[in-house]
Amino acid sequence: MHRLSLLLLMSSLHASPLNYPAAVRSDLKETLHGVEIADPYRGLEEIDSAETRQWVEAEAKLAGDYLGALPQRAAILEGLKKLMNYDRIGLPHVEGGRIFRARKTGLQNQGVLYWKESETAAERVLLDPNKLAADGTAALSGWHVSRDGKRVAYGISLAGSDWNECRFRDVASGEDLPDVLKWVKFSQPSWNHEGSAVYYSRYAAPKEGQELKEKNLNQKMYVHQMGEAQEQDRLLYERPDQPEWGLGGGETDDGRYLLIHVSKGTAPENGLFYRDLTAGAEGPIVELFKDFDAEYSLVGNDGPIWYLITTKDAPNRKLVAVDLAHPSPKDWRTILPEQPGLLSQVAYLGGRFVVTRLVDAHDEVTVHEKDGKVVQKLELPGFGNVSGFGGKQEDTTTHYFLTGFTTPGEIYHFDVTTCKSTLEEETKVAFDPRAYETEQVFYKSKDGTRIPMFLCHKKGLERNGLNPTLLTAYGGFNISLTPAFSPSTIAWMEMGGVFTQPNLRGGGEYGQAWHEGGRRLEKQRVFEDFIAAAEWLIAEKITSTPKLAIYGGSNGGLLVGACLNQRPELFGAAVPAVGVHDMLRFHKFTIGWAWEDEFGSPNDPVAFANILKYSPLHNIRKIAYPPTLILTGDHDDRVFPAHSFKYAATLQQAQAGPAPILLRVDLKAGHGAGKPTSKQIDETADKYAFLAEALGMKVEIK
């Protein structure tokens, strides 16, 4: 585009409100718990109707024209490509003496699974999902190798959907076996001890055309014998009287027990059942913990002595030994008692426990004897995030992955016997980490609660209120936000921005009490925590309203939408992504019903009254909103895209100021998992170009 034409287009775009596509409106109203609720854009829930498709295409063109004309997008795009062009290497996984690992090279859209016969052997490609779809929208959603290392079960997700098709590959030949499992969702296949069968869970096939919309209920657990058709799979467990139960599991390392993990929606509390396989494949299923009164997670076992992480009488979790002959809590032996730091992971390896605790939202790792005695604490850099420590109980060595906001990733070999860590591989990204720094601050929320927040920026930050700042958070579902590397974070800082990440209530950073503090009827506290973070950043002259942008995805998209309604004057720009915006109908689509445990049920009058107060869709007013870019994917079957469609149509209709309200719909994309690198780069370039324009940034990415 000619420079003069570009300037004229940008001038026209910002001089007056945009001409938004008109969505089909209706006079639909319904009375819920005595309250009349208008839903004029209900028709957008029919995402495949001609009217909706026409509107979405018009919105996509409007957003594409606007974002494509932004003068700094090209520089941002090139900077992102440079930063994203690096090798991401997964942790090695050993089965049957063979070594397996995933790797994504450079700008490759999807990661590839490799294998080799031994440490000294040449590595070979086992699974390359990039060959399944030219545009990179076929993703490897998970893989599990049999204990003998001869076969791998793997899932393929298309266009970002949560639906998986499970396939099987012979490792030596690299050829797929004829077995195929369909309609698998929220389940990973798990091999039995002999490698002759897999356990998995599935739903009934949805009605044709309703795959991305229909409720997911009545999950059932099956065992599939290799070489047989899926129709012959043996049903292991179902509960038609409990349609909302989620089922999953597999065998213990010793092959003695079949474990069945039972969930209820997204509640952290769960049930734990088992079958003793020494009594045969048709032996009774024992409901070991069936009251859903706490979390119960198996770490490992010595025969009938099970080692469990639990929140039973320990909100921050503890490690206990349970004798299956006497499983009552009064007979448990506590190995690691509850501590102030959240017990986030325990690995049982070589007769010892490798323990990860979350302390002020970053990790600490210690090694313990079987009786709980501390052997050693690992030396980690400040504000690190540690993952890994996988393997079987008999293994004495393992690997772990260390990352942080400015640490792309380091893979260490760890000897459990000597507690020695050896650096094996270091991820290389085209930036200088020494130019940046991470600090953790604490601020007070509206009710005085102390909230932690990470700040990442170039060294020598001047507190003059002029720093473009991106504030992002989540605050829900017991999920903890810890320091983690992202090239997009580095890109933002190279643009001269400050990246900030507070740990809001509703998350899991400080255990059960932290989650409960922002759950159900307490959800408003999450928004207050986020707003208080913005106010702190302004008061401390890190930034100011014209320079402050907020971003969040999924539950974080709800967070941004709610805060944008409650304090529109506080923010300079907003980007809600794949958000839950219609809080009165979230439970009606796909897996949305499961979130009632987190938000409360709109069918309950008390929960309804609370939800209505903050629902992003229902609290939009005719006022001047700051520039807002709404992101969703047309194949999002986690958060139904109509949430974003209805929210965008309503916000555009209500906008009383000149700032743009754009809806960017990513085609052949879902909630985010498995998104190709090319799509990630394009979306981030659009987001950052939008924010650069809104916040008045001058981008200079070297």
| 201 within a domain of the structure (yes/no) | yes
Q: What is the CATH number of the domain that holds 94?
A: 2.130.10.120
Q: Which residues contact 590 (CB under 8 A, 6 or more apart)?
A: 162, 212, 213, 214, 215, 216, 637, 638, 640
Residues of the chain with pLDDT under 70: 1-16, 636, 668-674, 700-702
Residues 204 and 123 in one domain: yes
H, E, C per residue of 127-193: ECHHHCCCCCCEEEEEEEECCCCCEEEEEEEECCCCCEEEEEEECCCCCEEEEEEEEECCCCCEECC
| 677 within a domain of the structure (yes/no) | yes
Structural tokens at position 181: 């499992």
Residue 218 region, left (φ>0) first, then alpha (ψ -120 to 50), else beta? left
Residues 370 and 454 in one domain: no
CA triple 266-638-471, angle to 5 deg: 85
H, E, C per residue of 550-586: EEEECHHHHHHHHHHHHCHHHCCEEEEECCCCCCCCH
| 310 within a domain of the structure (yes/no) | no
Alpha-carbon distance 462 to 99, whole Å? 49
CA triple 444-405-504, angle to 5 deg: 25
State the total domains in the chain. 3
pLDDT of res. 8: 34
C-alpha Rg value of the chain to the nearest Å = 25
Residues 601 and 639 in one domain: yes
E strands, 265-384, in order: 270-276, 285-289, 296-302, 305-310, 318-323, 333-336, 342-349, 352-359, 362-368, 374-377
CA triple 150-153-156, angle to 5 deg: 145
| 472 within a domain of the structure (yes/no) | yes
Residues 462 and 352 in one domain: no
Residues 494 and 631 in one domain: yes
Residue 471 region, left (φ>0) first, then alpha (ψ -120 to 50), else beta? beta
pLDDT of res. 701: 59
H, E, C per residue of 357-386: EEECCEEEEEEECCCCCEEEECCCCCCCEE
Residues 650 and 503 in one domain: yes
Residues 402 and 444 in one domain: no
Residues 508 and 424 in one domain: no
Say if strands 190-191 and 197-202 run parallel, antiparallel, or are unpaired.
Answer: antiparallel
| 322 within a domain of the structure (yes/no) | no
Alpha-carbon distance 477 to 526, whole Å? 12
- Quote the DSSP letter at residue 207: P
* Of the candidates 277, 258, 275, the residue with the CA atom closest to the CA atom of residue 200: 258
Which of 206, 239, 272 is the last residue in one of the domains? 239
Q: How many CA atoms lie within 13 A of 643 on its CB side?
A: 37
Residue pair 174/126 in contact by the 8 Å Cβ criterion: yes
pLDDT of res. 667: 75
- Which tens digit of pLDDT belongs to each residue from 268-306? 999 999 999 998 888 999 999 999 999 999 999 999 999
b/e burial code for range 616-639 (CB count within 10 A of at least 16 → b): bbbebeeeebbbbbbbbbbbbbbb
pLDDT of res. 14: 46
Residues 441 and 405 in one domain: no
Which residue range is the domain that position 95 belongs to?
A: 88-239
**Dihedral, CA of residue 433, residue 439, residue 445 and residue 449, to nearest 10:** 130
| 496 within a domain of the structure (yes/no) | yes
Say if strands 342-349 and 333-336 run parallel, antiparallel, or are unpaired.
Answer: unpaired
Alpha-carbon distance 17 to 11, whole Å? 12
Which of 196, 220, 239 is the last residue in one of the domains? 239
Q: Which amino acids are annotated catalytic?
A: 554, 671
Structural tokens at position 419: 């507690």
| 354 within a domain of the structure (yes/no) | yes
Q: Which amino acid appears at position 402 of this protein?
A: L
Residues 364 and 456 in one domain: no
pLDDT of res. 674: 65
Find tokens 């024992």 and name the residue. 286
Task: Determine the number of helices (DSSP H) and then strands (DSSP E) in the chain.
Answer: 11, 39
pLDDT of res. 672: 58
Residues 554 and 678 in one domain: yes
User: Max CA-CA distance within the chain?
Assistant: 81
Which of 403, 428, 453 is the last residue in one of the domains? 428
| 314 within a domain of the structure (yes/no) | no
Residues 161 and 116 in one domain: yes
Alpha-carbon distance 241 to 238, whole Å? 9
pLDDT of res. 282: 86
Q: What is the CATH number of the domain that holds 40?
A: 3.40.50.1820
First to last CA, the chain: 24
